[in-house]
Amino acid sequence: MTKRMENKIAFVTGGGSGIGAATAIRLAEEGATVVVCGRREEPLKDVVATIRENGGRADYRVADVSDESAFVGAMDAVAKEFGGLDVLVNNAVAFNWGALAEMSTEDWHANFTTTVDGTFWGTRKAMQLMKENGGAIVNIASICGVFGTAWMSGYSAAKAAVINFSRAAASEGAVDNIRCNVVIPGVVETPATEGMLSHDQAKSNTTKLIPMKRVGHPEELANAVLFLASDEASYITGATLAVDGGRGSDLYTAMD
């Protein structure tokens, strides 16, 4: 490993599984001290144990990203304990799905609290903590935020908001050398997609729409986050990086 994240302090939300866990492990492999945040303690402890067993430095904080005071308080505590914050990965997500015509207002709003409000709270606090020394914020969106997706109207709207919010944050943060970029996953094998991908026919139908003819792996998303968080991306801000096997770039499959 190149240790390109040596001496960096990184905070990863939704860090107990899937893309968040893979990202935390990858950042630690490259030398970062990583703090994973989430609602459930056991998965966070498992990620920290994996990192430490491989010689990395890690800790965890139990906090619900949809709870502003708990989330921001955890970020403040980490910055105080470890001497600052260099990287924030806003990965936590919560959503409801269902037919738009039957969706309640409560269910609609539930799509935004963690995904949009949480990304705002985290980004705002990160910009405050990074003002003196700069830093990198990587927000995780979704291909659903680029293309409309049936049964996922609230989630799609929330992820679209994350993309444009990140562009605005990049514009404001640039003067303080705070970069803000977005990774846009396609279909990735995570606990959230396990139910769908466990059915052979559903998985086959999904992969047919992907030019690379397979779904992604969390580690492939983690590598993209690592790049945008590292100094190798020092002149990149306000960018969106699709990691989707070509799903978003192929006109035929996008319209199929």
Which of 192, 199, 189, 110 has the alpha carbon at shortest distance from 155?
A: 110
Retrieve residue 226's tokens: 């690592």
**C-alpha dihedral sign at 73, 39, 216, 149:** negative
Retrieve residue 73's tokens: 């308080």
Distance CA(29)–CA(57), nearest Å, equals 9
Distance CA(196)–CA(148), nearest Å, equals 19
- The DSSP secondary-structure symbol of 5 reads T
Phi first, then psi: what are they for 105, rounded to 5°? Answer: -60, -35
Three-state SS sequence of 128-158: HHCCCCCEEEEEECCHHHCCCCCCCHHHHHH
Residue numbers annotated as active site? 155
Nearby residues of 45 by Cβ (< 8 Å), 6 or more positions away: 60
